[in-house]
């Protein structure tokens, strides 16, 4: 049995907010594949849970004029199967397939993956290179937080207790014309927590010879998932060639601070950062070229 006081099952957001106001111990959850396991391992003290699975306002993936909205309660299985994701931001499909196992992906949600705040969260590096905007709401107000400002440490996010993550918005100017890639390194293919994750996004200049924009994001390379702004600035505008990869290898370690853990040593992680960021950028360049060809 789980060490839980009570389980609320609201059906609307309004109901959820009023529960959050009255019960200060209540923790909202959706799939439970992180929350329930933490409770089982006794790292969460006895508390109440709010099951959000019946809240319809948290479901759906929409293509609006100028942006894509993914509601926080969409499970990874739905992300993989969704044509809007497949046609516009296939990197999110690739990332979703890296999460847990099929049974986990049937319940685990993108909102949970973000709010759990794990440094190894699979969806976060991809959302960083997509410059995702997170819509947070409480009973009276709402605010939009860019994903790079959402985390400030392992398991720590700027989301306040009485707030809920409602949706993830991705602007079309941030994905149209870009090629993306995500590489996850682990000891096995499934049911694996990333030893290191690297996402890259590249946009080529009009004649396809230079890099007009680049974004690189890493997970497990620092106490939170990071964008490597300094390295990006070094490469932006350069002609495609060996020089780019040399520069990445030279400067990227200055932006990371890896830790030693039972999963990997510092040396291995540093080696992975240098190598995977180059590979991800190379794949992203190739994808960007494919997009150019379609034009």
Partner 1 sequence: MLEIINCNVNGNDIDIAVDVRESLLDVLRNKLGLTSVKRGCEEGECGACTVLVDGRAIDSCCYLAVCADKKKILTVEGLKGKNGLLHPVQQAFIDEAAVQCGFCTPGFIMSALEILNTGEIYSKEKIKELISGHLCRCTGYENIINAIHKAIMEREKYENC
Interacting residue ranges for partner 1, rule: CB under 8 A: 1-4, 6-7, 9, 32-33, 36-37, 40-41, 49, 51, 53, 77, 100-104, 106-107, 189-191
Specify the residue, 108 or 127, whose C-beta has the smaller distance to partner 1: 108
CB of 179 to partner 1, least distance (A): 25
For the chain, state the CA radius of gyration: 19
CB of 29 to partner 1, least distance (A): 9
Specify the residue, 30 or 278, whose C-beta has the smaller distance to partner 1: 30
Residue of 98, 122, 275 whose CA lies nearest to 189: 98
CB of 94 to partner 1, least distance (A): 13
Residue of 163, 159, 136, 132 whose CA lies nearest to 148: 132
Specify the residue, 2 or 152, whose C-beta has the smaller distance to partner 1: 2
Specify the residue, 1 or 293, whose C-beta has the smaller distance to partner 1: 1
6 — phi, psi (to 5°)? -160, 155
Contact call for residues 188 and 215 (beta carbons, < 8 A): no
Specify the residue, 35 or 126, whose C-beta has the smaller distance to partner 1: 35
> What residue has token string 């992180």?
34
CB of 32 to partner 1, least distance (A): 5
Q: DSSP code of 238?
A: P
Specify the residue, 54 or 148, whose C-beta has the smaller distance to partner 1: 54
CB of 195 to partner 1, least distance (A): 18
Specify the residue, 53 or 177, whose C-beta has the smaller distance to partner 1: 53
Specify the residue, 103 or 261, whose C-beta has the smaller distance to partner 1: 103
217 — phi, psi (to 5°)? -130, 145
CB of 76 to partner 1, least distance (A): 12
CB of 231 to partner 1, least distance (A): 34
CB of 262 to partner 1, least distance (A): 17
> What residue has token string 């890493």?
218
Distance CA 158, CA 115 (A): 9
Q: What is the distance of C-alpha 147 from the center of its chain?
A: 8
Contact call for residues 92 and 84 (beta carbons, < 8 A): no
- CA-CA distances (angstroms) from residue 294 to 94, 177, 283? 21, 10, 17
Q: What is the distance of C-alpha 277 from the center of its chain?
A: 17
Strand order in the sheet with 178-185: 178-185, 196-204, 211-219, 226-227
């Amino acid at each position: 049995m789980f060490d839980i006081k009570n389980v609320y099952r609201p059906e609307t957001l309004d109901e959820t907010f009023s529960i959050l106001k009255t019960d200060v111990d209540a923790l909202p959850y959706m799939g439970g594949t992180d929350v329930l396991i933490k409770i089982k391992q006794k790292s969460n003290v006895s508390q109440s849970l709010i099951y959000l699975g019946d809240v319809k306002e948290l479901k759906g993936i929409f293509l609006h004029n100028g942006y894509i909205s993914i509601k926080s309660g969409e499970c990874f299985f739905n992300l993989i199967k969704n044509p809007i994701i497949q046609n516009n931001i296939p990197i999110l499909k690739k990332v979703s397939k890296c999460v847990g196992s099929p049974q986990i992906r049937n319940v685990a949600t993108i909102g949970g993956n973000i709010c759990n705040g794990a440094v190894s969260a699979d969806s976060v590096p991809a959302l960083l290179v997509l410059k995702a905007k997170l819509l947070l709401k409480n009973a009276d107000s709402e605010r939009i937080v860019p994903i790079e400002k959402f985390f400030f440490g392992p398991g720590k996010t700027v989301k306040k207790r009485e707030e809920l993550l409602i949706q993830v918005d991705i602007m079309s100017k941030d994905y149209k014309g870009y090629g993306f890639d995500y590489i996850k390194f682990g000891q096995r293919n499934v049911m694996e927590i990333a030893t290191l994750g690297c996402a890259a996004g590249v946009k080529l200049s009009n004649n396809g010879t230079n890099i007009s924009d680049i974004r690189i994001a890493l997970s497990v390379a620092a106490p939170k998932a990071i964008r490597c702004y300094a390295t990006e600035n070094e490469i932006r505008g350069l002609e495609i060639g060996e020089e780019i990869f040399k520069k990445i290898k030279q400067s990227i370690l200055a932006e990371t601070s890896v830790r030693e853990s039972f999963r990997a040593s510092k040396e291995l992680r540093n080696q992975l950062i240098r190598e995977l960021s180059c590979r991800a950028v190379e794949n992203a360049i190739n994808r960007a070229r494919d997009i150019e060809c379609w034009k």
